[in-house]
Amino acid sequence: MINPDKIRDKIQFIQRNLGKLQQINKKSQLEFLQDPFMLDAATRLLQISIEAVLDISQHIVSRKHLGIPKTYRESVELLVKSGILSKKKLPNLINMIKFRNRAVHLYDDISGEEIYKIIQYHLSDFEDFISSVVACCFNGD
Neighbours of 48 (CB within 10 A): 15
Closest CA to 11 of 43, 62, 52, 51: 52
Closest CA to 82 of 133, 23, 48, 8: 133
Gyration radius of the chain's alpha carbons: 15
DSSP 3-state assignment of 1?
coil
- The catalytic site residues sit at 100, 105
The helix (run of H) or strand (run of E) holding residue 36 is: helix 36-63
Question: Contact at 8 Å (CB) between 49 and 126?
Answer: yes
